[in-house]
A and B are shown apart, each in its own frame.
Chain A
Amino acid sequence: MNSTSVANEANYLKYKGKYKGLLGWIFSTDHKRIGLLYLYSMAIMFSVGVLLGLAMKLELLAPGKTIMEAQTYNATFTVHGVIMIFMVVVPGLPAVFGNFLLPIMIGAKDVAFPKLNLLSWWFYVAGVFLVLSAILFGSGTPDTGWTFYAPYSFKSGTNLLPAIFGAFILGFSSILTGLNFLVTIHRLRCPGLKWTKLPLFVWTLYGTAWIQLLATPVVGITLVLVALERIFGVGVFDPALGGDPILYQHLFWIYSHPAVYIMILPAMGAISEIIPTFSQKHIFGYKAIIASTMAIAFVGYLVWGHHMFTAGMSGTAQYYFSLLTFLVAIPSAIKVFNWISTMYKGSINIQTPFYWAVSFIFVFMIGGLSGLVLGALAANIYVHDTAFVVAHFHYIVFGGTGFAFFAAIHYWFPKIFGRMYDKTWANTGWLIFFIGFVTLYSPMFYLGMMGMPRRYYDYLQEFHGGNILSTIGSWILVTGFVIIIVNLVRSASKGPKAEMNPWHGKTLEWTVPSPPPLENFDEIPVIEENDGPYNYK
């Protein structure tokens, strides 16, 4: 016990380990430092992704060539996709907030395997550099789209191998994080913290970790096969040698659809923490949220075929995948119902995280309902591969996961940095970002319905109006993004000191100082019979 109290004199941002300075961070096995390492790496990659997106929108400002050639445009959307999917939204909330908060929320000193946790981050960085090397060196930037569809992924003359191996290693990082979280949640809950008393964010991390563990190896081996196809020509996906490219699509989506739930489940978890705190009311339907979380994790595994309705599939399979796609919408709707009901008759305290959370519900509903349009067989054929699809998944992935990420960073910021941000600027940033988001993506629903295809750098004259509006939206969104980032970065060092529990939350992270000490707790907390993560009066 003696050594603990010595360690806990300094908070985790300040303590000195074996190494000093930067080395003290990149070799630290402390879960909170690793969480921040992920946060910084992801913020960089996200900014790169945003710039690429901005460039694409600028290209689409007018028909024909505006700022780039078709080939450059193809490379741009490929790199934008690979960065945003594999480096930002898939690791996203689990890697940053899961790492930082999971051990604290369950009353533990660290995750079960701290060294493995650091290794995950190193894998992440290695993956990032591999992918970036594909852009900077070799025979051209990859142009296949982030899906690396066969047979083009082994016919394209661009420098795809490093990108594929990079994605493979990023997957490995994701598997190790998932494995670590599963063992942590099973083994390290503090005394009295029963499964029915776990905060919902922990529950969603648990569901996510299972998907990470069980789905990622599938895409891992599939990407290895594509690489082998490129190097040796083994024939598995090459129609010229008897292979079947459609099989590639199946294997790819067996992972990549569950990956959508890797992105959204922890986002839902964060929202399930924020809404009760700012309503000062017990979450409505605690067990229903848990059940729907696990249902999403399970059913989400079985719906991959809806990405391939036009690729060639038997009618029976199409009905089956369409039906299951509709089914998976139900647990998501249950959650929305629960969040709204939690607010009902609560004493609502309107703060920045709450704005983000309610706007999350708004955009998530639009994204979810447009997903049903795509899940319906007939409608899917009509809007397949149009801007409608792009609008749908940006509403879900950017609007869902992205908004929840911003909600989470504004919610836990005082805990992570021990300082409070400027609330006026934070709210202004949110408002501008929200307006920009809606202006950017809403016209794409319309454009898609009118028949504008995705992945083209050019379009017909009649789509001009909608595209101008969308491009202007991208500028508004970036303005909001810059305001948010500047405000947060400034406040991390200059903001006023934050209290231990500024939002009056009930989960365990609010019982430790801000920022938390090295090993979180001087003594492992004990949860009494009447305690609970949402026991507000």
Chain B
Amino acid sequence: MQDSSLKSYAFRKEREPGWLALEELVTKSESWGVKALSAEEKRQLPGLYRSALSSLSVARSISLDRGLLRYLEVLSARAYFVVYGPQTGFWAAMADFAVYRLPRSVRAAKGAILLSALVMLLGFVAGFGATLSDGEWFYGLVSEQMASDRTPASSRAELYDSIYGFNTDQTDRLKIFMAFLFSNNAQVGMLAFALGFAFGIPVFALLFYNGAILGAFLAIYTNHDLGLDMWAWILVHGSTELLAIILCGGGGFVLGHAVIFPGEDTRLNNLMRRGREASVIVIGAVFMFLVAGLLEAYARQLVVDMTDRFTIAAVMFLIWMTYFIFAGRGKG
């Protein structure tokens, strides 16, 4: 029992400088971010982390010095957070997001997105049919604020004016209206995703209702023989905006599906995997809402001709489809 040169003691003496070096790097990047580390320090970090982790592993089996164990436990955890934290930063994450993640997630959720489009279409048909047969339905579906003077009682001239007529005063109001619509739509889009958590049921309602409002508006224009003109007016920004709403609904359905049907994985793991995918779609849709808002405020005021409006709508639609179908198929 004279052997006083404890293995744990010798072990600590040998490894201690590495731990202290790691602690310094970790403290620095905790307060100032990984970017604050020099190139040399960044190169050292993973190696020091792994050696601290192996020290911890060894210490757990050979050392009974509790102070040391606790220190290593904490140091390894802190280093782990730095090494495995989001490294990319906001802008790099956004770039990766746009090029790879978004189109891939959309493709992965195409079933839910088609369902979402279908529900909205059903809502549209219902709203359109109901308002066409009985104008009173319009008031039930569309709030006064949203209708902004366009009702079944409006004359053809008033409706025509709302599609083609504008003056400076109105464009200024429209700018505000656009910003309001964008933030409102984007928020509703996020809501559609989050509501998926309640088994997806509110998503059905939200999509159906949005479709019905659209249908109700189109019906009053159709009654005055302005149906095509109204389509052109709406689709300038609508080809982008409706797509974004459908995507958000699709995200909500993915989430709802994951809550109800766990699949082969555990419910929690499944929810996590699908939830992350779906959230990417929704963030993408928020940017689409922004594009839609810009189109609404500018393109629609500058382009008055019906054919030109349809052309813009079709071009936007093609751009989005090409992006979602073909982008990000390579490596990455």
Chain B associates with chain A = no
Report A's interface with B, CB cutoff 8 A: none
Residues of B at the A interface (CB closer than 8 Å) are: none
